[in-house]
């Protein structure tokens, strides 16, 4: 898991509620990523950020939002517009100069009540 922390480990969401997942890294990495993993499937990219105050949509950004106000932090908000949010959410980071090498956090499991 390196120097990437995610919290909480488990999160429960009620219908119509927005929830925010935390991701922090102390690796001095420039780039950060959010992925969604459904049971028995691969990882799908939600959002990524290559530098502070800038981020781009991935393949499944609808219903999610992010911010990148600090280099160390890349929180993900799951909004009420995301109709099927139950999944395992993984945050990753990488150095800008070898950007492709990504290191992952331990993940947050989101469940809908």
When asked if residue 75 is in the footprint of other proteins (CB under 8 A), the reply is no
For residue 16, the 8-state DSSP code is T
When asked if residue 26 is in the footprint of other proteins (CB under 8 A), the reply is no
When asked if residue 85 is in the footprint of other proteins (CB under 8 A), the reply is no
User: Which residue in the set 16, 54, 100, 113 belongs to the binding site for other proteins (CB under 8 A)?
Assistant: 100
86: phi then psi, degrees, rounded to nearest 5: -65, 115
Q: What is the largest CA-CA distance in the chain?
A: 42
Nearest to 20 by CA among 72, 83, 73: 73
User: Which residue in the set 14, 15, 40, 54 belongs to the binding site for other proteins (CB under 8 A)?
Assistant: 40
Q: Rounded to the nearest whole angstrom, what is the least distance from the CB of residue 31 to other proteins in the complex?
A: 7
Pairwise CA distance, residues 38 & 112, whole Å: 14
Q: What phi-psi label fits residue 107: left (phi over 0), alpha (psi between -120 and 50 degrees) or beta?
A: left
When asked if residue 97 is in the footprint of other proteins (CB under 8 A), the reply is no
| Residue ranges that bind other proteins, judged by CB under 8 A | 1, 4, 31, 33, 35, 40-45, 48, 50, 56, 58-59, 90, 92, 99-107, 109
């Amino acid at each position: 898991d390196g120097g990437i922390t995610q919290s909480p480990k488990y999160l429960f969401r009620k219908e119509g509620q927005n929830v925010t997942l935390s991701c922090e890294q102390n690796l001095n990495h420039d780039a950060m990523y959010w992925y969604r993993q459904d049971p028995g499937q691969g990882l799908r990219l939600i959002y990524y950020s290559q530098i502070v105050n800038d981020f781009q949509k991935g393949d499944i950004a609808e219903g999610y939002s992010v911010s990148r106000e600090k280099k160390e932090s890349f929180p993900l908000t799951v909004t009420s517009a995301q109709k099927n949010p139950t999944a395992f959410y993984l945050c990753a980071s990488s150095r800008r100069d070898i950007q492709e090498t990504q290191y992952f956090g331990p993940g947050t499991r989101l469940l809908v009540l």
